[in-house]
Copies of this chain bind each other. A is one copy, B any other.
């Protein structure tokens, strides 16, 4: 339940790892996961598709199931709940209004519901295809889901099939269709389907004519009060949804299914073994972090309605802007075959849809926030040696992002503002989000260059490694809060923009100065229309993951940079609740002060993360926040797209990564205690290890990384060789 309250927005309900079906309670139409822990909000149904941790407009919430007793006059039915119980692969609650106990477990594509009816009145199960999250009365409301059509078909007295078609949602995607089949362990005694608001007793079919439909299935006499239901979903057909049930849950044993799902998780989660003596709090935080990271993207291999299913297919990249930083690297570390499949799925999406995904959901590329960050995911896979990926095709896909403007829609896929970027070397204020787009494209270009170099494409390498410096075109030598140099907006005539128009009260248009702390959105302009997306220049100006050395130089050297970082954190210009500054607490490493990174990271975690329902400080964003935490608890943090991890003090005395290749990598922290929080010295396989960063290949090889912990920082460790930067490296010819 970590992250189920506050901003976390995590999905509550059972799911398999990367599971396609995510059945869970809905009691808030506008909640991203459909759910709020608020016990005063009645549950109106249990729907089968959800996402986890997202923000903005909601998505999914399809095929809503509701057990009810007594009153069947109206389609809408809701009840408060009590005795709620949430466990791995399990959700259970009592619907108070009718005294119905509901339990849910799941397999990958089919869910198992157990309903115990305790009322002596008539009982029924409602299958509602007209409900979904974030329904809007405004046609084509931005980010809202729009109803397209639905169908229900009573196949027999133990099976109902159908589908629901919805479009829109947060990523403004095209229409997606969720097919389902629901089977029961005993016959319903009668039924009534509906279309619109009208019930049709005993009418088996309601054809899709663009109307809301559903079925009310009546169980008039129950032998043991219990009805078991299995529901399969599919994106291909309702018959395939039925096949998914038969393939995955060919029995009626709830506990057996629950155990199998838990076993799937155990197999994955046990790949990291922390010391048994660690506190439950820490272990809960850590393993929940892993769990959240492995909820999305979802594995829909075989379920792609758009093209052939002869290769892996994943959906709900939501969004790569969030997940490229730590989620993908965590999957690569713990579940590399999975990451290979995910990257291959991304390449198929490029091949068929024309662009790599950024915020893909409901089988639609549909939204970008800043960069074309699939480049980072691909480079990360490449530099970490993931095999079985066609990197030539990957380079082609990345170059499509970098060279072809996405056309009329500058926020759907590819790179919005690319015409500016390629002509001027930056995105001008003619486009929204010009600041973070320029920064992100620079890094995306770096990642592209790395893959170009590795695949022996020198021409492309030189072009894009040069473009990787484009962030410098928006670097303005101004001072703010004692620090010099910020990424600032520039217009298409290459003039700095000093003030921006801001609609004001009383009908007067006013201009506000644009400063590094300015936040033009959402007050002056729309949420996604500012110079920077969801953060200020203070945060974004530090976001140059490929060339921190140059950033330090431009800031005025190590001391000035240290001061700048201190200001960022001390004056709370840093936003713990979002991704743009994920790497920032680690930047002290580049001035040879890993101890200061350490201080900041532990402060951030200890203050903002815990095992409570409110234990994630921002939208978990498909596990982005959770994976950031999990990495840091192990003492490692990736710089995604590059081959190394930064080393920080771990939260565990021992962490063993049981790698997929069979080789264990052990991280030990000798003498770790609340007091002994600094790394004094390090050995790798018994040999002294001077750097505060370690290569992925060192981990893959297996071995032991041992920290000697102390109460005071080391004066030498991590000071001689700082982590790599583009401008420090000799560019090979």
Q: What residues of chain A have their CB less than 8 Å away from a CB belonging to chain B? A: 146-149, 151, 153, 163, 165, 167, 174-175, 177, 205, 207-210, 236-237, 239-240, 242-243, 302, 305-310, 354-355, 400, 404-409, 414
How far apart sit A404 and B243, CA to CA, in the bound complex (Å)? 45
Which residues of chain B are within 8 angstroms of A174 by Cβ–Cβ distance? 306-307
Q: How far is the CB of A422 from chain B (nearest CB, A)?
A: 11
How far apart sit A208 and B408, CA to CA, in the bound complex (Å)? 35
Q: How far is the CB of A730 from chain B (nearest CB, A)?
A: 35
Given contacts A205-B239, A237-B151, whether A354 and B409 have CB atoms under 8 Å apart is yes
Which residues of chain B are within 8 angstroms of A400 by Cβ–Cβ distance? 408
Q: How far is the CB of A357 from chain B (nearest CB, A)?
A: 15
What are 23 A-B contacts with C-beta separation under 8 Å? A146-B308, A149-B308, A149-B309, A151-B237, A151-B240, A153-B239, A167-B307, A174-B306, A174-B307, A207-B239, A207-B240, A207-B242, A210-B310, A354-B407, A354-B408, A354-B409, A355-B408, A400-B408, A406-B407, A406-B408, A407-B407, A407-B408, A408-B414
CB nearest to A352 among chain B residues = B174
Which residues of chain B are within 8 angstroms of A153 by Cβ–Cβ distance? 239
- Contact present for B307 and A175 (CB under 8 Å): yes
Q: Which 10 A-B pairs have the closest CB atoms?
A: A407-B407, A404-B408, A207-B243, A210-B309, A406-B407, A207-B240, A208-B236, A207-B239, A208-B237, A175-B306
Identify which of B177, B205, B210 contacts A308 (C-beta below 8 A): B210
Identify which of B209, B302, B414 contacts A209 (C-beta below 8 A): B302
- Contact present for B406 and A208 (CB under 8 Å): no
Which residues of chain B are within 8 angstroms of A242 by Cβ–Cβ distance? 207
Identify which of B163, B240, B308, B409 contacts A148 (C-beta below 8 A): B308
How far apart sit A208 and B240, CA to CA, in the bound complex (Å)? 7
Which residues of chain B are within 8 angstroms of A305 by Cβ–Cβ distance? 165, 175, 177
Q: How far is the CB of A393 from chain B (nearest CB, A)?
A: 13
Copies of this chain, whole number = 2
Which residues of chain B are within 8 angstroms of A149 by Cβ–Cβ distance? 236, 308-309
Identify which of B165, B302, B309, B414 contacts A407 (C-beta below 8 A): B414
Q: How far is the CB of A508 from chain B (nearest CB, A)?
A: 27
- Contact present for B308 and A208 (CB under 8 Å): no
- Contact present for B163 and A237 (CB under 8 Å): yes
- Contact present for B151 and A239 (CB under 8 Å): yes
Q: How far is the CB of A384 from chain B (nearest CB, A)?
A: 28
Q: How far is the CB of A728 from chain B (nearest CB, A)?
A: 35
- Contact present for B307 and A148 (CB under 8 Å): yes
How far apart sit A354 and B408, CA to CA, in the bound complex (Å)? 7
Which residues of chain B are within 8 angstroms of A148 by Cβ–Cβ distance? 307-308
Q: How far is the CB of A727 from chain B (nearest CB, A)?
A: 32
Q: How far is the CB of A503 from chain B (nearest CB, A)?
A: 24
Which residues of chain B are within 8 angstroms of A177 by Cβ–Cβ distance? 305
How far apart sit A148 and B304, CA to CA, in the bound complex (Å)? 10
Which residues of chain B are within 8 angstroms of A146 by Cβ–Cβ distance? 308
- Contact present for A208 and B239 (CB under 8 Å): yes
Q: How far is the CB of A717 from chain B (nearest CB, A)?
A: 49
Q: How far is the CB of A307 from chain B (nearest CB, A)?
A: 6
Which residues of chain B are within 8 angstroms of A414 by Cβ–Cβ distance? 407-408
CB nearest to A236 among chain B residues = B208
How far apart sit A243 and B207, CA to CA, in the bound complex (Å)? 7
Which residues of chain B are within 8 angstroms of A210 by Cβ–Cβ distance? 302, 308-310
CB nearest to A310 among chain B residues = B210
Which residues of chain B are within 8 angstroms of A307 by Cβ–Cβ distance? 148, 167, 174-175
Which residues of chain B are within 8 angstroms of A406 by Cβ–Cβ distance? 407-408
Which residues of chain B are within 8 angstroms of A207 by Cβ–Cβ distance? 237, 239-240, 242-243
Which residues of chain B are within 8 angstroms of A240 by Cβ–Cβ distance? 151, 207-209
How far apart sit A207 and B242, CA to CA, in the bound complex (Å)? 9
How far apart sit A408 and B372, CA to CA, in the bound complex (Å)? 15
How far apart sit A147 and B207, CA to CA, in the bound complex (Å)? 27
CB nearest to A246 among chain B residues = B207
Which residues of chain B are within 8 angstroms of A151 by Cβ–Cβ distance? 236-237, 239-240
